[in-house]
Amino acid sequence: MHEAETFLKGICDLHSMEKIALSAFDRGHMGELFVEYREDEALRMEDGAIQAPTFSFKRGFGLRKFKKNVSRYSHSSSLELAAVRKALDVLGAGENDCNVHLIRHDNDLYDRKYFLNSMALEAKIKFLKDMDAYARSRASNIRQVMVSLAGSWQVISVMADDGRKSYDVRPLVRLSVSVVLEEDGRLESGQYSGGGRHDYDFFVDKKEKWVDEALRQASVKMRALPAPAGEMPVVLGNGWTGILLHEAIGHGLEGDAIREKTSSFHQLMGEYIASPEVTVVDDGTLNNRRGSLNIDDEGTPTRRTPLIENGKLVGLMQDRMNASLMNSPVTGNGRRESYEHMPIPRMTNTFMLAGDLSFDEILARVKRGIFAKSFADGQVDVASGKFVFSASEAYLIENGKITDPVKGAMLVGDGPSILKKISAIGSDFALDPGVGTCGKSGQMAPVGVGEPSILIDKITVGGVNL
C-alpha cells in the first residue's frame, strides 16, 4: 500500500491523538488540531533537456488554541502521541477524557484519488518532449522553450474544539510553457500556465493550446509600440485581469484587515463603495478550481460569500477567530500554507459577476485608451489600496477599435477609487486558467480570480509620453 494511502487510512482513526488534543480547549478556549500529509512533484524541461525532477513530502500536525485575539500554536513533523503531549505542554494544557464526534464534509468538488503515480515518469518526460517539439515546429525563429509539469496531493484532518472532525483530500496540478522568439535581433517572450484540482489527464489534449497561446503572446510583443502615458480610459480583459480585483480590493475585505483597521474599507460596511453595476463574491465551492476547497483549514465547509452587491459593501471573508471577535458569520476562509502555520482569513476564488454589455459595446465607449488583456505582476498596499500593475499584453483603443499592441503599460491607482470609476461591465465573464498563488503573512495559498471585461473611465497609465 502506498504511504499516502496508509496515511489516509490512519488519518480517520486518530482517536487517541484527538482525545489528548481536546484537553487544550478547556476554560473557554477555541482551536483545532490540524493533521496533514502532502506530496509534491515537479518536472521541468529546458531547451530539450530534462532538469532534475523534484519530489518532496511532508506530514505533521499543528495544534492551536485561542481565546479572544490571543493565540498559541505548536506544531511537529511527528505524529506520535508523545509529540502531541509535548505540544500540549507548550500550550499549557493537561489531559482529559472526552468523546470525539466524527463528521465528514464530502462536497465532492474534486476527485480524491491518489494520482501522482497515474502517469509513469517516462510518460511525463515524453509529454514534455512532445510539447517542446510542437513548439519548435510552429515557429522557425524560436530560441528557447521551457515546459514544466507539477502536481500536489494533500490529505488533511481537522478536529475542532467541540470534537467535530472533518477531513479532505486535495489534488492540484499545473502546466506551464514559456517561449522566446527572436526577430531582427529582438527577443520577446510568451508564457501560458493553467491547471486546477485535477489529475494529469486534464492536460492530455490541451498541450497544443498551451504552446499556441505562449507563441501568440510572444508574436504580439514583437510588433508592440511603446505604451502611452497619462490618465485615460482602460478596458480590462476578462479572466486573469481579476488579479487586480484580488489584490487591490480582496485583501482589504479579509476579516483581519477590517478588524485591525489596516484596510481602506474598515469603516465602510453597508456603504456604497463601487459603481451600482459592480457585484463581487468569494466562492470556494466551484468544481475543480484552483482556489476551491471542500472544507477550509479549520474544518469549516466553504461557501459563496457576497462581498459587494450592486456597489454596496455587504460581506467579509472570515476565519473562526476573527468571526468570533467581530460577531460575524464564519465563511470558510480560514486557510494555512501547511501544518506549520496558523490559519488566517484568505480568499478562495474571488471574482466580479457579469454585466449585460458585449465587448464591442464596451470598446465603442472609448475614443482613445488602453485595452489591457492580461497582467504580468503587480504591487499593492492593503492599507491604502494603492496598486501598480504591469500589463503583459495590451493594445491601443482608437475610436472604439483595438489597433496596435503596446508594451510597457503600467496601471497605477487605488482600489477604492477604481471601484467607483467602473462604468461598463461585459457579459463575457471568465475565470483565470488556474494559475493564482497568493502570498500573505509569509504564507502561500492557491487561489482563483475572474471577471468580465470592464471599462474604467479614468486611470493613470505609466508608459511613454508621446
Q: Is the pLDDT of residue 3 over 60?
A: no
Residue 152 carries which side chain, given as an amino acid letter?
S
Q: Tell me: do 155 and 190 sit in the same domain.
A: yes
Q: Is the pLDDT of residue 465 over 70?
A: no
Q: Tell me: do 198 and 255 sit in the same domain.
A: no
Instruction: Round to whole Å and give the CA distance between 31 and 66.
Output: 6
Q: Identify the burial level of 172 via C-beta atoms within 10 angstroms of its C-beta, where 0-12 means exposed, 13-18 middle and 19 or more buried.
A: buried
- Mean pLDDT of all residues in 268-288: 97
Write the CA distances from 4 to 37, 47, 107, 155, integer angstroms. Answer: 7, 34, 21, 8
Determine the pLDDT at residue 265. Answer: 93
Q: Tell me: do 284 and 354 sit in the same domain.
A: yes
Q: Tell me: do 255 and 137 sit in the same domain.
A: no
Closest among 274, 263, 281, 269 to 333, alpha carbons compared: 281
432: confidence class by pLDDT, cuts 50, 70, 90? very high
Q: Tell me: do 304 and 161 sit in the same domain.
A: no
pLDDT digits (tens, 9 = 90+) for 29-45: 889 999 998 999 999 99
Instruction: Round to whole Å and give the CA distance between 356 and 133.
Output: 42
Length of the chain (residues) = 466
Name the DSSP class of 253.
Answer: G
77: confidence class by pLDDT, cuts 50, 70, 90? confident
Closest among 314, 458, 459, 307 to 389, alpha carbons compared: 459
> Which of 222, 257, 277 is where one domain is finished?
222
Instruction: Round to whole Å and give the CA distance between 431 and 446.
Output: 14
pLDDT digits (tens, 9 = 90+) for 116-157: 999 999 999 999 999 999 999 999 999 999 999 999 999 888
Q: Tell me: do 428 and 294 sit in the same domain.
A: yes
Q: Which residues have CB under 8 Å from 317's CB, separation 6+?
A: 250, 253, 254, 255, 282, 305, 307, 331, 333, 345, 346, 347
pLDDT digits (tens, 9 = 90+) for 203-259: 988 889 999 999 999 999 999 999 999 999 999 999 999 999 998 899 999 999 999
Instruction: Round to whole Å and give the CA distance between 127 and 121.
Output: 10
Q: Tell me: do 343 and 209 sit in the same domain.
A: no
Q: Tell me: do 125 and 206 sit in the same domain.
A: yes
Q: Tell me: do 273 and 196 sit in the same domain.
A: no
Quote the number of domains for the chain.
Answer: 2
- pTM comes to 0.91
Q: Tell me: do 175 and 278 sit in the same domain.
A: no
C-alpha cell at 268: 465602510
Determine the pLDDT at residue 87. Answer: 59
Q: Tell me: do 281 and 349 sit in the same domain.
A: yes
Residue 447 near residue 335, CB atoms below 8 Å: no
- Mean pLDDT of all residues in 436-452: 96
Lowest pLDDT segment from 84-93, 208-217, 274-283, 343-352: 84-93
Name the DSSP class of 432.
Answer: -
Let me know how many helices (H) and strands (E) the chain has, helices first: 10, 26
CATH classification at residue 174:
3.30.2290.10
Determine the pLDDT at residue 229. Answer: 94
> Which of 172, 193, 222 is where one domain is finished?
222
Determine the pLDDT at residue 102. Answer: 37
Instruction: Round to whole Å and give the CA distance between 23 and 89.
Output: 11
For residue 46, what are the domain limits?
Answer: 3-222
Q: Is the pLDDT of residue 167 over 80?
A: yes
Beta bridge partner(s), residue 177: 147, 192
Q: Tell me: do 238 and 209 sit in the same domain.
A: no
> Which of 222, 255, 288 is where one domain is finished?
222
